[in-house]
Structure 1
Amino acid sequence: MTLGKRIRQLRKERNMTLVDLAGGKITKGMLSLIENDKSQPSMTTLSHIAKKLDVSIGYLTREGDEEWTRQMLAEADFSHYFSFPFEHIEKNILPHLDRVSQGSKGMDLYNIIRIYYRYKGEHATADEYTEKIGNFYRRIGIEHLVVKNRLNDAISLMYSQDYTEAYNRLVDSEAEVMEFKAYDPHLELEYVYLKAIFSVPVDMEECIPLANRVIELSYDMENFKYFFSANMILGYYYGLEGDMENHGKYEERLKQYLQFNSQEKYELELIDADHPITVFHVLVEDTKQRADLYEAYVRKIEAHHEADNIQSSNMAFYHPLFLLEMAYFKKDYRTVVENYKEGMYIRSAAQHPIDRIIMATRSCIYPLSLHHLGERRQAREAFERIEETIEDIKHSVFTKEFSMIRDIIFEGNRGMVPKEK
């Protein structure tokens, strides 16, 4: 919405005539020219109009259409784990970029557009939106939001799986984070957490102290947004390293945390509440116990969604996976082979590198089932297709189980790992 149209709209909303708004400061004719965008008011005139309309000058001069921007944000779920509204963006938003309001909601929409271009691999265009957002907050003097925008820029790179570039951009912003954390103390917590997760494929030795720092800051700030994730990462790491003492320490901390934090997301994510940090997702010794856990878990989430009458696409995505894995642990390999579909373990939304590895590992029930059925060539081909999906991070310490599965399929080693304690 132009300046003139906004002035006219506000005037009519207040049941004011041109004469009423013009007052004794400007002429009716001049005001008419301004409302029709045929003349630009001076700062003195603009100040008078804003005062008469009881709004700020900043509100009057804001570009774009606030209502349209809010509508575009409300019409799609941009934060969804398993889908991204490409069609909505391409059809309804990109052709009308002149309507994006130059306010906080407009910056939210710019962030969505930035993510869209990260998905597309069009990084130069995505960087332009990073600059647009930064310039907006810089222009209105909110410097700590300029820094927050840089963190969000790094997050956007997760959508294109450019973890190293995200890590480097975070490091470049560290001095500013430390400078402006006085204005927003949670900047430091978010920065340290993001640096920890992006350091996983870059430098695991750096990740460990960073994740521990996240836990310390969580207590200091009484902000536990990343507490669960940091403990999961560390417990999983030590479990894979065979350091069960440290693994147990982080697992016990999580169990204590879950006793007083009974959020639904944890209830629905944890297959085994007694062991919240899973070390091996497929290569377990006691397959019957794991099958029983999956069966109970599937019943729990089905009952939950039925009782609440929730049509959840999370459920639609995960439910077939749980059933498939349950069949695998019951050694019903034929069911796994017949119901597995390529790509069913790949989420379209941004994923932490560890999540990608875990999903790739879980999908290995398919080549393993082929292997157990004696279809060795097909098993190896299926494994290699899965391996391609984590090519950029396959040398991470978190691929230990994945590599063990590879040995089984390609070396004929049928050995299982020790039972988890």
Structure 2
Amino acid sequence: MATLGERIKQLRKQQGLTLQALAGDELSKGMLSLIENNKANPSMESLSYIAERLGIERNELLEEIPTAELRSLLDAVEEKRKHVSGTDEEMLAAYQNIAEQIHPYVDKLPFRYESARLLEIYSRCSYHTKRFDWEAAFDRAQAIYEQLHLINHIADLHMFRALMKFNEHRYSEALSMLQASRKTIEEQSGSLDPLKKLDFDYYESILYSATGDKENARRLMEEAIAYSKDQQIFYQINALYRLAGFEALLSGDMERKDYYISKLRLFAAFSEDEEIEGFADTIEIHYLNSFGHKYEKADHLIEKCWGDSPKSEYYYLEKGKALYGMGRYEQALDCFKQHRMNRFMHHPYDLSMHYEKEAYMALIYEQLGDHEQAKAYAQKAKQLIEPMPDLPYKEFIMKTYRKIVGSTE
């Protein structure tokens, strides 16, 4: 971080001033040079004079981290956060990089909005990368937001705390925390900001579904979609359509699934976002493989979606299922072996879907005549799926288990 002299020099150069121009009539060029090179300390009068000529407050020069430096740092890490993606290893590396960029500033951040935001980002990234000091930074961010009465930012922190319980698979506890936080924020602000209302609706719907309460999950989800349309707010609409389409698929309501997938595709075209179109295709591929059993059609769509692009855990899962369905067992097995569970995956729907891989591998080994391997994978699939809610995935896994293990034990 810059010293006082270095900050003065940096600001002078940013404004295109020479030493003589900044020194003016009250300072010598030589003295200003000594100050900039940290060989002399300016008096408070000289510091006020320098600040006035630079067009800033004296306190900004005295701050260990000037506002301009804070804003520059914040802009840089916000931009990095936008591009966090890829495998879980790539995401963790990105979070680690962001945390390391902020870390040298953490203990010296002044009381400002920028500081609170940096502390929030630092705590989130540090939580994911298991840095020891994430919670202290989180508490400091919340304290600054509260003193500045920034309700929306306080709400974000409340939601993040609830989702920590979700990440630990303590779904009922996470739901109770989120609902209590929502009540607190509503009491503090009188009414929720429309964007925060949609955030709370979306996460509450997810947590209801995680606890097995499909009725309330669907109710909240559909209320949020209706509210979005009524208010002409497109925030979270992509995530809500995806959630609604997937929920309809699991409920066996293919008409409603098709409706929400079509809405998702329309929104993708409207926003010119290819990634959203990819989400629609992923749901459709999943339907074709696991529910429609139209494996050739699924395989064609898989190749259209991924082609030469980097392969995700969804690719290896769905490609393996399509190959299995087409009787290409060796290729399917090779595909499943490349599948890795993403460590950021915590919803029972996602977990159950990916646990199917073990059952498919059991079926493949049985087809290839390796009954012991088939039994091992069938038992592993059963062990993984038992704590999960009753979904089509659980039914498939248990049926596979009975087919392979039940006949011999």
TM-score after normalising by structure 1: 0.71
Contact 1:370 1:378 in 2 (8 A): yes
Aligned AA for 2:128? Y
User: For residues 170-204 of structure 1, what are the alpha-carbon distances to aligned partners after superposition, in whole Å with 9 as ceiling and x for unaligned?
Assistant: 22321344344868421111111112112322351
Equivalent of 1:248 in 255, 265, 268: 255
Amino acid at match of 1:358: M
SS in 2 for 1:327: helix
**CA-to-aligned-CA distance 1:354-410 (integer Å, 9 cap, x gap):** 22322223553222323444544423422443455566xx3324xx22222233223
1:365 equivalent in alignment to 2:365: no
How do 1:187-202 residues align onto structure 2 when only pairs under 5 Å count?
A: 187-202=196-211
Question: Is 2:207 the partner of 1:207?
Answer: no
- Report 1 or 2 for greater relative contact order, CA contacts < 8 Å, sequence distance ≥ 6: 1
Residue 267 in structure 1 maps to residue 262 in structure 2: no
2:139 matches 1:97: no
SS in 1 for 2:210: coil
Aligned length: 390
Residues in 1 aligned to 2:103 and 2:233: alpha-carbon distance in whole angstroms: 36
Q: Indicate the residue corresponding to 2:301 in structure 1.
A: 297
With over 3 angstroms needed to count, the CA separation of the structure-2 counterparts of 1:301 and 1:7, relative to structure 1, is same
Aligned residue identity for 1:191: F
The TM-score, its normalising length taken from structure 2, stands at 0.73
Summarize deviations over 1:234-262 as a string: whole Å, max 9, x none. Answer: 454455445x3xx5235324424524532
Q: Which residue of 2 aligns with 1:417?
A: none
Sequence identity percentage = 15
CA–CA distance in structure 2, aligned partners of residues 22 and 395 of structure 1: 74
Corresponding residue of 1:175:
183
Amino acid paired to 2:275: K
2:127 paired with 1:118: yes
Residue number among 385, 394, 411 corresponding to 2:402 in the alignment: 411
Match of 1:146 in 2: 154
- Map of 1:419 onto structure 2: none
Conserved 8 A contact 2:102-2:122? no
* Deviation of the 1:330 alpha carbon: 0.3
Task: Tell me the CA shift for residue 48 of structure 1.
Answer: 6.3
Per the TM alignment, residue 16 of structure 1 is displaced from its structure 2 partner at its CA by: 5.2
My pick for the range that moved more, 3-12 or 212-221, is 3-12
Distance 1:209 1:409, change over 3 A: same
CA distance in 2, matches of 1:78, 1:130: 22
With over 3 angstroms needed to count, the CA separation of the structure-2 counterparts of 1:202 and 1:325, relative to structure 1, is closer
Any conservation in 2 of the 1:3–1:62 contact (CA below 8 Å)? yes
SS at match of 1:406: helix
The answer to whether 1:396 aligns with 2:393 is no
Bigger shift: residues 88-97 or 329-338: 88-97
More helix by share: 2
Letter in 2 for 1:192: D
CA displacement at 1:231 relative to structure 2: 4.2
Using the TM superposition, give the Cα deviation of residue 341 of structure 1 relative to its aligned residue in structure 2, in angstroms: 1.5
Summarize the Cα distance change of 1:340–1:395 in structure 2 as closer, same or farther, 3 Å threshold: closer
- Residue 10 in 1 paired to residue 5 in 2? no
| Residue 212 of structure 1, CA deviation | 1.9
Match of residue 337, structure 1, among 333, 350, 355: 333
Distance 1:95 1:361, change over 3 A: same
Shift of 1:109: 5.4
**How far apart in 1 are the matches of 2:10 and 2:198?**
43
Aligned with residue 143 of structure 2, among 135, 141, 149:
135
Greater shift in the superposed pair: 206-215 or 129-138: 129-138
Aligned pairs for 1:343-354 (under 5 A) are: 344-354=339-349
Unpaired runs of 5+ in structure 2? Answer: none
By how many angstroms is 1:413 displaced?
Answer: 8.7
Q: CA deviation at 1:167?
A: 3.1
Residues 155, 185 of structure 2: 8 Å contact kept = yes
Q: Root-mean-square deviation (CA), in Å?
A: 4.6
Task: State the one-letter code of the partner of 1:200.
Answer: S
